[in-house]
């Protein structure tokens, strides 16, 4: 049952892949910001004189990427389902 439902989902879209990548980068940045057993990237780059970078800073930065990265790639190398339907509709009209 689970395999059939999984197959029905189809291929991952660009927007879903972008969310996955941003989430993975967010988690990596959270874990390596101040690991405790060694100085993290935030301590080395920004927090030498005070606490400037926190978990919230990382989350806000990554959430702004959702507004910067487009939800669809407009590339001629990728063919979407809408393009295929448009081509089929043009063929019927002729």
Q: Can you tell me whether residue 73 is helix, strand or coil?
A: coil
What is the C-alpha separation between 23 and 62, in angstroms, rounded? 8
pLDDT at 78: 52
pLDDT tens digits, residue range 31-78? 988 887 888 888 777 777 777 778 888 999 999 999 998 888 886 555
What is the C-alpha separation between 22 and 75, in angstroms, rounded? 21
- Pick the range with the lowest mean pLDDT from 4-8, 18-22, 67-71, 85-89: 85-89
**CA Rg value for the chain:** 21
Task: Tell whether pTM > 0.85.
Answer: no
**Cβ atoms of 43 and 54 closer than 8 Å:** no
């Amino acid at each position: 049952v689970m395999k059939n439902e999984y197959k029905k989902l189809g291929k991952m879209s660009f927007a879903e892949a972008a969310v996955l990548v941003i989430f993975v980068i967010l988690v990596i940045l959270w874990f390596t910001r101040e690991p405790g057993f060694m100085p993290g990237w935030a301590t080395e780059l920004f927090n030498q004189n005070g606490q400037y970078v926190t978990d919230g800073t990382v989350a806000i930065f990554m959430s702004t990427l959702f507004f910067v990265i487009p939800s669809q790639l407009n590339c001629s190398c990728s063919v979407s389902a809408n393009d295929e339907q448009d081509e089929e509709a043009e063929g019927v009209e002729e």
